Structure 1
Amino acid sequence: MKLDLVIVDDSSLWLSLAENLAKTHPFIGRITSFLDSYDAWVYIQVAKPKAVLTDIEMPGMNGFSFLEMFSNRMSFISSSTKQGFEGIARELGCADFIKKPYTKSELHGSIDLVRNQLEGKIPRLI
C-alpha cells in the first residue's frame, strides 16, 4: 500500500526537507504540502488523507490543533524543535513524534510505523 502524505510546516526550509526525505521512502505515493496551516486544514477536511506530518509550532492553527481535530480519523506524525512537546502530542493522539532536526531514517521509521498501523500490523493507540 502506498501512502499519500500531507506535510504541514510554516518553514519553507523544513517543508522542503520533509518533502525530499519522504519522497525517498518506497511506500510514499503522492505528497501534498502546505506552508499555511489554514489551507492545510481545508484540504484535510475535503481530501481526508490517511497520514499527515505536521509541525507543532506554527502561527494560527498549530500542530496540537490538528491533533485535537483529526487524530481520531487519520494518523499523524508530529514534529518540533522542542522535545517537551512530545508528551502532549502523544496524549492528543499522534502516531509518532520526531524531534527536529530529524534524519531520513527517523522520518522513514515514522512513516513505517504509520503504514503498519494503517495495515493493522500494529494497533493504533487511540
Structure 2
Amino acid sequence: MKLSAVAIDDEPLALEIIKQYCTQINEIDLTQTFDNAVAGLDYINRHRPSLLFIDIDMPDINGIDLVNQLQSRPMIIFTTAYKEFALEGFELEAIDYLLKPFSFDRFEKAFQKALSRYQIGNTADELEPFFVYSEYRMIKIDFRDIVYIESLDDYIKIHLSNSKPVMTLMSLKKIALKLSPKKFIRVHRSYIVATDHLASLSGRKSGFLQGWSFL
C-alpha cells in the first residue's frame, strides 16, 4: 500500500530533501512537488492526494491559509523553520510538525503516524455509523446513506438516500473530519457531497465547483 503525497515549499533545497527522504520509504508515492503554493493548491483540489507536506511561511500564500482553502483536506505534515506556528498547525489537526532542518528518522516517524491514520481511515471506508443529536434524540447515520451535507449557519442538514434529512448542531468543518476524502468532496463553502451519488461536476469559481448533479 502506497500513500499518494504532494510537497509544497518555496525553497528548492527543502523540496529536494523531501524527495530524497520519500525515495527511502516504500509506502510513499510522491506524485508532485511545488515551489508555487497556488499551483499546488489547484493540483491538490483536482487530484486529492492522501498526504501533504507543506511549508508555512511562503511568499504567495501562507501554508495554513492554503490548508484552510482545500476542498477535501488530505493528511497534513507541516515542514517549517518557525516553531511559533506549531500551535496553529496542530489546531488544523496536522499529523505532525517538522521543524527544519529535520533528519530522515524524524521524517520517517512523522510519516508512520500518517500511515497509521490512513490505515485506520481505510478500514473506516466501511465506516461505522455515527450518532447525531436531532429533534431531542440521538439518530444513527450510516455514511453510505449520505447524499450530501448542507451548512446552515451553526447547523448542518444531512440529506440521506433512504429517509428525510437530519438537522443537527454541528459545523461543516467538524463533520468533514469524520468523512473519508475518497468518498466525500467539498464542492462549495456550504456543501459536501458523497462521490458515490454524484453524476457530474462542472466549473470552478474561487476554488469551488460551481455545479453538480446527482445520480
Q: Same fold (TM over 0.5)?
A: yes
Task: Show CA shifts across 1:41-62 (max 9, x none).
Answer: 1100100111000001111112
User: Aligned AA for 1:80?
Assistant: T
| Residue number in structure 2 paired with 1:9 | 9
Give the whole-Å Cα distance in 2 for the aligned partners of 1:87 and 1:71.
22
Alignment of 1:6-85 (within 5 A): 6-70=6-70, 73-85=73-85
- Residues 54 and 71 of structure 1: is their aligned pair in 2 closer, same or farther, counting only changes over 3 Å? farther
User: Whose relative contact order is higher, 1 or 2, with alpha carbons under 8 Å and at least 6 apart?
Assistant: 1
Displacement, 1:69?
2.5
SS class of match (1:94):
coil
Task: Show CA shifts across 1:9-53 (max 9, x none).
Answer: 000011111111111112112431001001101100100111000
Tell me how many residue pairs correspond in the alignment. 122
Higher strand share: 2
| Residue number in structure 2 paired with 1:111 | 111
SS class of match (1:93):
coil
Give the whole-Å Cα distance in 2 for the aligned partners of 1:21 and 1:47.
22
Task: Show CA shifts across 1:64-105 (max 9, x none).
Answer: 112223396310000111111111110122111010000101
Runs of 4+ aligned residues of structure 1 deviating over 3 Å after TM superposition are none
User: Aligned AA for 1:50?
Assistant: S
SS class of match (2:79):
strand
Residue identity (%): 22
Higher helix share: 1
- Indicate the structure (1 or 2) with the bigger Cα radius of gyration: 2
- Residues 70 and 96 of structure 1: is their aligned pair in 2 closer, same or farther, counting only changes over 3 Å? farther
TM norm structure 1:
0.89
TM norm structure 2:
0.54
Q: CA RMSD in A?
A: 1.6
SS class of match (1:33):
strand
User: Aligned AA for 1:96?
Assistant: D
**Contact 2:22/2:29, CA 8 A, preserved across alignment:** no
